[in-house]
Chain A
Amino acid sequence: MTLSDDHSLVGRLERVADPIEGADWLDVRRRARRSRLGALALVAAALLTLAVAIPASGLDAKVAEWLRISEGDDVVPTPARGPAISFVYGDRLHAGGKPVARLRASRLAPLLGTKPPLAVSSPDGRYVVYHTWAGRLRGAGAPTLRVYDRRTKRDRLLERGAQSFAWHPRRGLAYMRATKPVYRPEPPRGLPGGGYGHVVVRPSLEGAAVRWTHGPPGQYQVLGWAGPDLLVAVAGSNLQVAQPSLAPGVYAFAGPRRNRRLPMADALAISPDGRRIVGAASLEPAGPGSSELRLVRVRDGRVLATLGRRALARLLPDQEFPRFDGPGAWAGKRVVLTSADAIVVVAVGARRLAIERVFRVRLPIERNRYLGPWAYAPVFIGRSSNLVAVRIDLARRDETSGFSVFVTCEIDVRTCRGGRRLSPPTRWAAIVHNPSRPLRHP
């Protein structure tokens, strides 16, 4: 048998199966919704139980009275008042706990989810770039970036058909520009638009954008600037028409078409000087304990230290899938990450990673593996490595019940405080911050 014979045979084999009718995507979506409703019924029952068990005044006013944070078996005390943070909830920009501005559109990014930084402040703090959605939430629409100017109170469009954003004082603004701005859930053919495109960088709000990725459009997500390098996550694509030129993973881009792959599956936090990052890597074979936290030098991708997931699993024996989850934050010699309902503080040395402390969020209802509570996207407040703010979500998938709440913790003295309940959770909540480093000129 010759090589060409074999190729011809393989071609025949690949076409041998008869077509099967019966594919029905709408039915899949209906089934997904039905299961959600079942889960929501459970949550509704839990919340009802909660409402009966707890005096209404306590439930309605502040979460702090019934949200508890613990470390090990110790309940962490709650101080009288905590530091104010700046955040976006729905279409309101809050500062000092009060709404200070109404944005033109609600903060939303259905193609990205709620974990990435969706309200990013400029390095000088004047602007807030936020994600929104132009169109029907459950139908066709365009991921959109808008800019709010705190000084002039002006809210304007940055770009339609764009998502994931990073801003560096010298390198400029970076984001993913969709090849087709409008995302359609059921595209007639070709690319779905919205989530597929290229990474572009512009020197300023008014500057011209330059494309940094090449080849066919891909699912790129801009993570942040690490010094002069732009960190970009590349997602795997199953669309045959869109095979990106880069394999899935995390890349450091030094400029247009100049990139190197970093040894991690997910970048979680950037060091204050932008020279190192902490990321999560998957190990083979997959299984319990098969992922690890890595401290990586951006310049050459060298792994400086690792921390196995088993260390975390020992501290969170009741969690089904304990893992180092991001995005996190880095200040001083501390990185703060999350794992389901836990806030994980990791001590970082020159060549060392070690878990320093783990806080748990406790609600007087049984934790549900799908509906939470979940701790998300911790951010250090100010320049200290002591104060950290975390968003807690409960029943995120529910459109009527559930809530988000911001919790601030003082790591050194082991105190945490829950803020006011933000409900409904369909108005997405996010702390305004900038994950890129460094944020000031050296």
Chain B
Amino acid sequence: MTLAPVEIEAIYQRRYAGFRRAVRALTGDDQLAHDAVQEGFAQALRKRGQFRAGSPEAWIWRIVLRKASDLRRGEHRLVPAAIEREISSEQDPELADAIRKLPPRRRLVVFLRYYADLPYAEIARLCGISEGTVGAALAAAHADLADSLASEEVDA
């Protein structure tokens, strides 16, 4: 079973921003993040015949991640300062502020889930925790955020 180019393109159109944000958080370098995403998808196009079963999106994400690692000559860890920069939002500044106030682990998981749009399995892999812990951290973050937003409403 192979991937059609149009399918890869559909993933690209939908996931470009999330992948770029995630790689930017991994490298702290926006141009490198763009290149890693572009090169990753280009490689996915060339190697689409090698795709077998599973999630095409996860398969492409791993290629992008490898490209990012290649471009960084093997360096591969989350850059907290880069994540801090990422968590800003013109769409919803109030929520972005609340996210910044989360404890670091929860903030990281929220970032990877909602800014980078990564699935639980990838978040678990990047953070070195189990998928269950990802779920638990997200649930706790939701509760913290709900409290934080509610208290702001009361303060107002």
Contact = CB atoms under 8 A, between A and B. Distances in A.
Contact of B145 (A9, A27, A233, A235): A9
A31 B53 CA distance: 26
A238 B149 contact: no
A17 B12 contact: no
Given A16-B89, A266-B52, A239 B16 contact: no
A12 B92 contact: yes
Interface string A12-27: 1111111110111101
B47 A18 contact: no
Given A9-B149, A12-B92, A265-B53, A28 B45 contact: yes
A10 interface: yes
B121 to A, nearest CB: 10
Given A9-B142, A266-B53, A16 B92 contact: yes
Residue from B38, B47, B113 having most chain A Cβ neighbours under 10 A: B38
B96 interface: yes
Nearest to B11: A238
B61 interface: no
Given A25-B12, A115-B2, A195-B6, 18 more contacts: A1-B146, A9-B145, A9-B149, A13-B113, A14-B114, A16-B89, A16-B91, A17-B91, A17-B117, A19-B17, A23-B12, A23-B13, A24-B38, A28-B12, A183-B6, A219-B7, A238-B11, A286-B54
B43 interface: yes
Given A13-B95, A17-B17, A17-B114, A35 B46 contact: yes
A25 B89 contact: no
A16 B13 contact: no
A370 interface: yes
Interface string B87-120: 0111110011001000000000010011101000
A80 B85 CA distance: 72
B89 A17 contact: yes
Residue from B4, B5, B9, B12 having most chain A Cβ neighbours under 10 A: B4
A248 interface: yes
Contacts of A10: 142
Nearest to B93: A16
A32 B13 contact: no
Those 7 A-B pairs whose CB atoms lie nearest each other, nearest first? A31-B42, A265-B53, A20-B17, A32-B42, A23-B16, A32-B45, A1-B146
B46 A32 contact: yes
A36 to B, nearest CB: 6
Residue from A20, A186, A240, A266 having most chain B Cβ neighbours under 10 A: A20
A244 interface: no
B46 A13 contact: no
B53 A282 contact: yes
Interface of A: 1, 5-6, 9-10, 12-20, 22-25, 27-29, 31-32, 34-36, 111, 113, 115, 183, 185-187, 192, 194-195, 219, 221, 233, 235-240, 248, 265-266, 282, 286, 291, 321, 323, 370, 397
A266 B2 CA distance: 11
15 contacts: A6-B142, A15-B91, A16-B92, A18-B89, A18-B90, A23-B13, A28-B38, A32-B42, A113-B49, A185-B6, A186-B9, A194-B6, A219-B4, A266-B1, A286-B54
Contacts of B3: 235
A239 B114 contact: no
B39 interface: yes
Contacts of A195: 4, 6
A265 B1 contact: yes
B34 interface: yes
A24 B38 CA distance: 8
B95 A12 contact: yes
B57 interface: yes
A323 to B, nearest CB: 8
Contacts of A192: 6, 10
A25 B14 CA distance: 12
A354 B107 CA distance: 52
Given A236-B56, A266-B1, A370-B46, A6 B146 contact: yes
A117 B114 CA distance: 43
Contacts of B88: 18
Contacts of A35: 42-43, 46
A265 B52 contact: yes
Nearest to A282: B53
Given A5-B146, A282-B52, A23 B39 contact: no
